[in-house]
Amino acid sequence: MAHPYKIEGVYEYGKSFSVRNDVAVERYSTMPGKQFVSMGSYSYCRSHGLPLTTKIGRYCSLAVGLRVMGLNHPTDWITTNVCAFRPYASEFARTEFGKHVDLPSFPAQPRPVEIGHDVWIGQNVLLRDGIRIGDGAIIAAGAVVTKDVPDFAIVGGAPAKIIRMRFDADLCKRIKDIRWWDYNYADFGDLPMDRIDAFLDALEDRIARNEIAKFNPGWINIATDLSRHLKELA
């Protein structure tokens, strides 16, 4: 429930909290303290306040201060102010001034952010809503990311730009083809992870020999499964 592998003491006894029904976590993921977001195995997040619609893959490392931009505003209307599109503005005009205001529709709510597998995001990063961070990407500390980030790209700055690619195109393809994150690190941790080609050679050999199987530890629907577990403890 909190990094690293902390369970006891995260929630004070007697405190209440709520979780959306669509938040699902894969076993062996580590939540930000006192918050649940959808996340794959062996990922951890140390940031609080991420939108519950955020989707995070496996083996991700997310530092403190990660945020997603909030409410959208129209840029090509007469005004960007909320009086032009928020429903409560119409209600305010009615109750305060007795006027009927028919507001046009505008999708103001932030769109979900998707973070791929093996992504490292440094401290105090701001992400635009609706973007995707590709597999193996690295986001430098303090970056403001307004566009999709390609697989294996290292980006930084405000707005963030590609600094360089982690690997050449052939190696990127080889990693994407083998999808090492589909496997349990306990089954490949003895391979030379500091020597990429040797690691991939060895992993490919184990896969070909059926000595390693894809990792399927199971998903937990927090709202449903945790509620059932707590009732069983009562």
Q: Is 100 marked active-site? A: no
Given the residues 48, 73, 100, 117, the one annotated as active site: 73
Distance CA 222, CA 229 (A): 10
142 within 8 A of 122, measured Cβ to Cβ: yes
Q: At 222, which amino acid appears?
A: I
Beta bridge partners of 120: 61, 138
**What letters, b where the CB count within 10 A reaches 16 and e where it falls short, cover 7-38?**
eeeeeeeeeeeebeeebbbbebbbbbbebbbb
Q: Reduce the DSSP state of residue 219 to 3 states and report it.
A: strand
Burial status of residue 92 (CB atoms within 10 A of its CB: 0-12, 13-18, 19 or more): middle
120 within 8 A of 138, measured Cβ to Cβ: yes
- For the chain, the residue count is 234
Distance CA 19, CA 203 (A): 38
Distance CA 124, CA 139 (A): 10
60 within 8 A of 43, measured Cβ to Cβ: yes
Which positions are catalytic? Answer: 73
